[in-house]
Amino acid sequence: MKVKVKVNNNCNLCGLCVETCPTNVFQIMNQKLTINENNCIYCRGCEAICPQKAIKLEASDEGLEITIIQTLTTLITPLK
């Protein structure tokens, strides 16, 4: 699953998302919020805690790869 983290102009750099995020998606550096989307586990805690409602998460299956391994050579025995 790929997660897109969007932060709008309502963000006032309060830092609650930085303190709350269990995977360190957010950092405040040089009076700017930086985001590492690759760390996001889509827990949505940042959306819930943001008093400005500035954070929105979107999940997609873009780039998701599924590998299916067939372990049985015959799934149904042919009738004779």
Residue 20 lies in a domain: yes
| 8-67 confidence digits (pLDDT tens) | 999 999 999 999 999 999 999 999 999 999 999 999 999 999 999 999 999 887 666 666
Q: How confident is the model at residue 1 (pLDDT cuts 50, 70, 90)?
A: confident
pLDDT of residue 20: 96
* 51 closest CA partner among 1, 11, 7: 11
Backbone phi, psi, residue 16, to 5°: -65, -35
Helix (H, G, I), strand (E, B) or coil at 16: helix
CA distances from 52 to 3, 22, 26, 35, 63 (A): 21, 20, 16, 17, 31
Residue 46 sits in a domain of what CATH number? 3.30.70.20
pTM of the predicted model, to two decimals? 0.72
C-alpha span between 78 and 38 (Å, rounded): 47
Residue 12 lies in a domain: yes
Residue 48 lies in a domain: yes
Q: How confident is the model at residue 73 (pLDDT cuts 50, 70, 90)?
A: low
